[in-house]
Amino acid sequence: MSAPARGDAVILDPPGPEPVGLGRFGEYGGRFVPETLIPALEELEAQFRVAWHDDDFRQEYAGLLAHYAGRPTPVTECHRLSERLGLRVLLKREDLTHTGSHKINNVLGQALLTRRMGKHRVIAETGAGQHGVATATAAALFGLDCTVFMGAVDVERQALNVWRMKLLGAEVVPVTSGSATLKDAVNDAMREWVASVQSTHYCLGSVMGPHPFPWMVRELQRVVGDEARRQCRELLDGADPQYVIACVGGGSNAMGTFAGFVDHCPDVQLIGVEAGGLGLETGHHGAAMTRGVPGVVHGMRSLFLQDEDGQVLEATSISAGLDYPGVGPEHADLGARGRARYETATDDEAVAGFQLLAETEGIVPALEPAHAIGWLAREAGRAVPTGSTVLVTLSGRGDKDAAQLMERLGEL
């Protein structure tokens, strides 16, 4: 089979493995929610399980990915960046999808499920606004009502995406509680879901939350990794990259990417890059894999930044999409089993990665994947030996971050 290229039909690989029990990944995962939500989660789980094995559903989903979202996305060989770093760097270009990030892959699948369940409204949380924009887009496409919860801090730093969501017909609700960022937006979205579950689907944006979300969102994102594996093999004469790297907020672009390699390519090293914020030593960061401890929050057992009393701490990151004090449970398990490794890049390193990719390749990344680029630039010739072949998922484009970076970098 030749590697997927732009303009080809999207071919979905067979479904991946289902978590055992009630959404368990090792000691993580599960379903910890109020009684009122159990029937909705059970219905979603059953509907997704049937739909995901149903040829008609898969065909419609693949058609939307091709003709609406613009898949397959290319893998780009980065000649100048490779020369600069002494590596062979390939980028999986999710920045080239409609709406500008991987979030659209998940949202189109969940919109199809919303219609299948006979619901007419979607709600969503958003950090960077990319998931909110993707949800508002799918809602417009399917004629669904849409409400997006967004921390007031993020409303401020992602003004362009707030405007886009409103243009698309969504109501945007600024959340002022707590740190007024993604964690608080999830809290309010869950509260609203409890109140409106009969008519409303909660279109969760990452591989987190109660079962079936971590499994379902990973499956809806696995097209990223499955495509990339085949594209890399074509570029690399049948070989796999030695390293596969992606940034980790809740973990959906990383999990979708890893899913294409984790079982198929046991020798490929999987690396997730979290928000190092102002530096791990300052305590102001978003590194739940690196510094988190087990706990139950937002319906799942996973790793969270917490104080000694188990109170969830505020995350800090320059990037709204990584500004979350937890991580999806499958990552917690991959980390515990040593199958994936989790590293951090600080705000400054992410900004350096943002500039480096722009200058060497003419590609302006979103600040989230700029963390992966920043980490790679720091570790080239160190943790990643000179001459290595590396695939990085470029989860989104940087337009949304331009105003924030203009302020930070000033005159260039």
Active-site amino acid positions:
78, 102
366 binds ligand PLP (CB under 6 A): yes
Subset of 58-117 contacting ligand PLP (CB under 6 A): 101
Closest CA to 301 of 14, 29, 7, 17: 29
Specify whether the CB–CB gap between 161 and 124 falls below 8 A. Answer: no
Q: How many positions of this chain bind ligand PLP (CB under 6 A)?
A: 21
Report the SS3 class of residue 99.
coil
87 CA to centre of own chain: 25
Subset of 181-220 contacting ligand PLP (CB under 6 A): 206
How far lies 389's CA from each of 240, 326, 374, 399, in Å?
8, 30, 16, 28
- 135 or 388: CB nearest ligand PLP: 135
Specify whether the CB–CB gap between 256 and 13 falls below 8 A. Answer: no
287 binds ligand PLP (CB under 6 A): no
Beta strand 284-286 with 269-279 is antiparallel
User: In whole angstroms, how close is the CB of 358 to ligand PLP at the nearest point?
Assistant: 15
User: In whole angstroms, how close is the CB of 240 to ligand PLP at the nearest point?
Assistant: 22
What is the rounded CA–CA span in Å between residue 376 and residue 372? 6
- 184 or 368: CB nearest ligand PLP: 368
368 binds ligand PLP (CB under 6 A): yes
Which of 4, 19, 72, 127 is the binder for ligand PLP (CB under 6 A)? 127
User: In whole angstroms, how close is the CB of 396 to ligand PLP at the nearest point?
Assistant: 2
31 binds ligand PLP (CB under 6 A): no
Q: Say which amino acid occupies 105.
A: N
| Locus of tokens 């409106």 | 196
131 binds ligand PLP (CB under 6 A): yes
What is the rounded CA–CA span in Å between residue 277 and residue 273? 12
How far lies 120's CA from each of 117, 176, 186, 194, 214, in Å?
9, 27, 21, 16, 23
| Locus of tokens 């188990």 | 310
288 binds ligand PLP (CB under 6 A): no
- Of 52-60, 85-93, 122-130, 165-173, the window that binds ligand PLP (rule: CB under 6 A) is 122-130
- 219 or 388: CB nearest ligand PLP: 219
396 binds ligand PLP (CB under 6 A): yes
- Of 22-30, 196-204, 307-315, 363-371, the window that binds ligand PLP (rule: CB under 6 A) is 363-371
What is the rounded CA–CA span in Å between residue 61 and residue 36? 30
395 binds ligand PLP (CB under 6 A): yes
344 binds ligand PLP (CB under 6 A): no
- Of 15-23, 38-46, 111-119, 243-251, the window that binds ligand PLP (rule: CB under 6 A) is 243-251
Closest CA to 160 of 409, 408, 405, 412: 405
User: In whole angstroms, how close is the CB of 283 to ligand PLP at the nearest point?
Assistant: 22
Closest CA to 393 of 194, 243, 213: 243
Residues in contact with ligand PLP by the rule CB under 6 A: 101, 127-128, 130-131, 206, 247-254, 321-322, 366, 368-369, 395-396
